[in-house]
Amino acid sequence: MTDIPSTLGLTGEQVEHVLATAGRAPSLHNAQPWLFRLRTDVIELHADPRRRLPAVDPDDREQRIACGAALFTLRLALHGQHVRPIVTLFPDPAQPDLIAAVRHGGTRAATPEQQRLLRAVPLRRTNRHPFTDAAVTQQELYALRRAALDEGAWLHVVDSAGDRAQVRRLAVLAHQQQVADPAFTDELESWTGTGPDRRDGVPACVGRPPARPAGPLGPA
């Protein structure tokens, strides 16, 4: 039995499955900086101020990106239950941590694409290995751009040698500044190399972050 209440026409057990799926979304340091609040006809998504990362993410940008990922997987999970989600995005000055409210928008089966994405959710893993040198095809780039457009975003592909070199230079500079900051290294230490007793953070088994950015982005 579950103590999770029913909402959006789903049983408590179904809601528990939906929230567990949404909670598998990726986040910086696997901090999982979100909260779900259930009401009879709505699931609210909030940023969790207790899981902020003030050293590495002082403006909460990464936190909101993580909450966006949680919202995406929540929507996928609802599609998997044949619920068409209707999403209201905020901010609300009276509730600054409220990110979105999701309501029942009718019954509709998940598309094959949504089913494929839903099956991929539990397969996500932290991977700190260097990228391979396999070329990204134009078809793959098109699919990535289309996925971004579907979510109201724009994907900019950095493909010129000069731009790639500039990105590499900025990444190295940013990394050097971060590791020189004791507050950053303390925060990193508290969220990485975690043991099996924790369900958040980055487990020690996946390895530590590299000492410097890895992978060839262009001329040094």
Instruction: Convert the pLDDT of each residue in 176-207 to its tens digit.
Output: 999 999 999 999 999 987 788 888 998 877 76
The per-residue pLDDT for 59 is 95
The per-residue pLDDT for 211 is 59
Dist CA 66 CA 76 (whole Å): 15
Mean pLDDT calculated for residue range 63-90: 97
1 pLDDT tier (thresholds 50, 70, 90)? very low
pLDDT exceeds cutoff 60 at 96: yes
pLDDT exceeds cutoff 70 at 8: yes
Nearest to 22 by CA among 3, 50, 46, 1: 46
Could you give the count of Cα atoms lying within 13 Å of 129 in the half-sphere of its Cβ?
6
Q: Which helix (H) or strand (E) holds 36?
A: strand 34-39
Let me know: does 128 contact 117? Beta carbons within 8 Å: no
pTM for the model = 0.88
Torsion, CA 185, CA 123, CA 108, CA 154, rounded to 10: 50
81 pLDDT tier (thresholds 50, 70, 90)? very high
Q: For 147-206, give the secondary structure using H, E and C.
A: HHHHCCCCCCCCCCHHHHHHHHHHHHHHHHHHHCCHHHHHHHHHHEEECCCCCCCEEHHH
**DSSP single-letter state for residue 47:** E
The per-residue pLDDT for 91 is 83
pLDDT exceeds cutoff 60 at 219: no
Dist CA 135 CA 88 (whole Å): 38
With a CB cutoff of 8 Å and minimum separation 6, the contacts of 14 are 6, 81
**For the chain, percent of residues with pLDDT exceeding 90:** 77
Q: Counting every residue, how long is the chain?
A: 220
Predicted confidence (pLDDT) per residue in 105-142, tens digit: 999 999 999 999 999 999 987 777 788 888 899 999 99
pLDDT exceeds cutoff 60 at 57: yes
Mean pLDDT calculated for residue range 29-56: 96
220 pLDDT tier (thresholds 50, 70, 90)? very low
208 pLDDT tier (thresholds 50, 70, 90)? low
